[in-house]
Amino acid sequence: MMVRSLRLALFLWAATAALAGAPVRAQASEDAVKAAFLPKFARYIDMPAAAKPSPGQPFYLCLIGRDPFGPLIDRAAANETIDGHAVAVRRFANVDSAAIAGCHIAFVAGSSDEATGQMLVTLRRQATLTITDARMGRARGMIHFTVIDGRVRFRIDQVAASARSITVSSRLLALAVGVNQEP
């Protein structure tokens, strides 16, 4: 456990340090850091047993709406396993309840705050860790990326996660710049 925590802290430090030195290429670097974060978040959450992948099935990381990552997310996911499950990336232009039923993590980026909010409401019907990005609007998922002083950071809505029976590790909560713990 301590090694995993140290590994995450070192990853976060290296990723954010890379951003601080390259303001001209901040956009590409920012997307690369966020793409690297996405599959790693799954290591620090616990989902209800019914929401976990079956033996032999992949852990699905879904991009719903706009995809700012392109091949960056595919490369990041290809190197990850979550509790013995490979990570597979799926892309959806919008929320189709039948199609997204197997999503374990969903990065949600609608064409507007309202569209993103509607997508998040649809995802509340299942135990899916939702992630949003301040760069793409104000609507917030359980984890919400933001950039502070040139570094990619995130906020966590522990209340929203708990409502879906998702437990966020204290190690991840400690790395967040803000945690909503009040209903």
Spatial distance between the Cα atoms of 124 and 137, rounded to a whole number of angstroms: 19
How many C-beta neighbours within 10 Å does residue 15 have?
19
Q: According to the model, what pLDDT value does residue 95 have?
A: 78
Query: 29, 19 in Cβ contact below 8 A?
Result: yes
Give residue 29's pLDDT band: very low, low, confident or very high (50, 70, 90). confident
Residue 68 has a pLDDT of 94
> Domain total for the chain?
1
What average pLDDT does range 125-153 have in this prediction?
A: 93
CB-count exposure of residue 24 (10 Å: 0-12, 13-18, 19+): exposed
- Tokens of residue 17, six digits: 């340090």
pLDDT at 97: 64
Which range (43-57, 73-87, 90-104, 108-122) has the least confidence?
Answer: 90-104
First to last CA, the chain: 29
- Is residue 23's pLDDT more than 90? no
User: Which residues touch 171 (CB under 8 Å, ≥6 apart)?
Assistant: 4, 5, 8, 44
Question: Domain span at residue 8?
Answer: 2-180
- pTM value is 0.83
Q: Is the pLDDT of residue 35 over 70?
A: yes
HEC string of the chain?
CHHHHHHHHHHHHHHHHHHHCCCCCHHHHHHHHHHHHHHHHHHHEECCHHHCCCCCCCEEEEEEECCCCCHHHHHHHHCCEECCEEEEEEEECCCCCCHHHHCCEEEEECCCHHHHHHHHHHHCCCCCEEEEEHHHCCCCCCEEEEEECCEEEEEEEHHHHHHCCCEECHHHHHHCCEEECCC
The CATH number of the domain where 145 resides is what? Answer: 3.40.50
Q: What is the mean pLDDT of residues 88-101?
A: 83
At 136 the pLDDT is 87
